[in-house]
């Protein structure tokens, strides 16, 4: 199974006037710092504060009446959870979300506020996949993966489609597009759209240190499961194995993977607040972190980056600002 530009265009039709077409921003401060034209796609301004609504709605809206009556179930640390919850609410469906007990409180509260039922689990001792599968089997609900699903990927791909269309209206073809990478769903959809529209634009997936399974898999030439030794603030990017479908796409469409540190992410969050006037969560800030910390030289060129989410707890946010007062 794969995803084509045609699938992404169809998803865009389904999402029209439902999802937010987030704008493209530029920043004189960032451009001067990098000696480049940087275009910022703030998906933190999307419904539920993250790009995940795109894929969730594109998947759920194609369910028939009988499937909708039985509801949806998903597992997520928070953004896919909220995306499913809001999409289900719009479509008059029930949704059950399997969430880790240590998920950020803002994400748990947001999911509950949107009307979904939450089943908490312990990351160390329980399997979210097994729990979600049991719920689906007993209730008849449709299990909607966070990333390894062609309709979810196509929905996320509308973000990349919008980037290329919005930049075309500015008579710009970006030299590079940088996207966060966890399970790889956003990156798979985005890279498909970007490469089919302009094959010379370079696409980069950005991962947090200790959760760099895509980078390791690329070096090995096959999917590699990692065993992280440390936690990460990037709760949205804590995948330990590339998705089967997403990897089949990303291994062909993504030029390289870059890795950023926890401190570099914290710095990017502070920079985004102070200079871009945007609130970005750790997982959403990795592409900005990669550019701020010279993981990729774009001097004299142009690049687009996705700030994929803005659901950050107040304590984490305050710590980033305090530790990086003058980015």
> Where do the domains of the chain lie, and which CATH numbers do they carry?
5-50+149-323 (3.40.50.1100), 53-143 (3.40.50.1100)
Nearest alpha-carbon partner for 174 in 301, 75, 60, 18? 301
Q: What is the mean pLDDT of each run of 10 residues along the chain (327 residues)?
A: 95 98 97 98 97 98 97 90 96 95 88 93 89 94 96 98 98 98 97 98 97 96 91 92 96 98 98 98 98 98 98 95 89
Burial (CB count <10 Å: 0-12, 13-18, 19+), residue 125: exposed
Given a contact cutoff of 8 angstroms between Cβ atoms, the answer to whether 257 and 159 are in contact is no
Given a contact cutoff of 8 angstroms between Cβ atoms, the answer to whether 200 and 316 are in contact is no
Q: How far apart are CA 115 and CA 88, in angstroms?
A: 9
Q: How far apart are CA 15 and CA 34, in angstroms?
A: 34
Residue 238: strand pairing partners: none
For residue 129, the model assigns a pLDDT of: 87
Nearest alpha-carbon partner for 205 in 142, 269, 251, 149? 251
Give helix 185-197 / helix 5-15 axis angle, nearest 10°. Answer: 110
For residue 206, the model assigns a pLDDT of: 98
For residue 62, the model assigns a pLDDT of: 97
For residue 229, the model assigns a pLDDT of: 77
pTM, to two decimals: 0.95
Nearest alpha-carbon partner for 143 in 153, 156, 130? 130
For residue 27, the model assigns a pLDDT of: 98
Q: How far apart are CA 321 and CA 303, in angstroms?
A: 26
For residue 3, the model assigns a pLDDT of: 97
Give the single-character DSSP code of 274: I
Q: Reduce the DSSP state of residue 25 to 3 states and report it.
A: strand
């Amino acid at each position: 199974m794969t995803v084509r530009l045609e699938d992404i265009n169809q998803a865009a039709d389904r999402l029209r006037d439902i999802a937010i077409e987030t704008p493209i921003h530029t920043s004189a401060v960032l451009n001067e710092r990098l000696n480049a034209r940087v275009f910022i796609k703030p998906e933190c301004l999307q419904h539920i504060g993250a790009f995940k609504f795109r894929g969730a709605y594109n998947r759920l809206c194609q369910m028939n009446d009988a499937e909708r009556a039985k509801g949806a179930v998903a597992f997520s640390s928070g953004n896919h959870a909220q995306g499913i919850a809001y999409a289900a609410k719009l479509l008059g469906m029930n949704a059950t979300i399997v969430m880790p007990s240590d998920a950020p409180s803002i994400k748990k509260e947001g999911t509950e506020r949107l009307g979904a039922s939450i089943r908490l689990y312990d990351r160390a001792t329980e399997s979210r996949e097994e729990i979600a599968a049991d719920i689906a089997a007993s209730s008849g609900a449709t299990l909607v993966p966070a990333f390894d699903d062609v309709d979810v990927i196509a929905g996320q791909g509308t973000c990349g489609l919008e980037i290329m269309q919005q930049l075309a209206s500015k008579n710009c073809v970006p030299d590079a597009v940088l996207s966060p990478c966890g399970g790889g769903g956003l990156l798979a959809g985005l890279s498909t759209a970007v490469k089919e529209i302009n094959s010379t634009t370079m696409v980069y997936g950005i991962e947090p240190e200790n959760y760099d399974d895509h980078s390791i898999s690329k070096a090995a030439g096959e999917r590699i499961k990692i065993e992280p030794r440390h936690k990460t603030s990037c709760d949205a990017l804590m995948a330990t194995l590339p998705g089967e479908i997403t990897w089949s796409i990303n291994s062909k469409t993504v030029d390289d993977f870059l890795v950023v540190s926890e401190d570099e992410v914290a710095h990017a969050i502070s920079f985004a607040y102070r200079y871009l006037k945007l609130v970005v969560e750790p997982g959403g800030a990795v592409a900005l972190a990669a550019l701020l910390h010279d993981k990729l030289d774009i001097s004299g060129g142009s690049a687009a980056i996705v700030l994929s989410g803005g659901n950050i707890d107040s304590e984490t946010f305050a710590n980033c600002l305090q530790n990086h007062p003058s980015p």
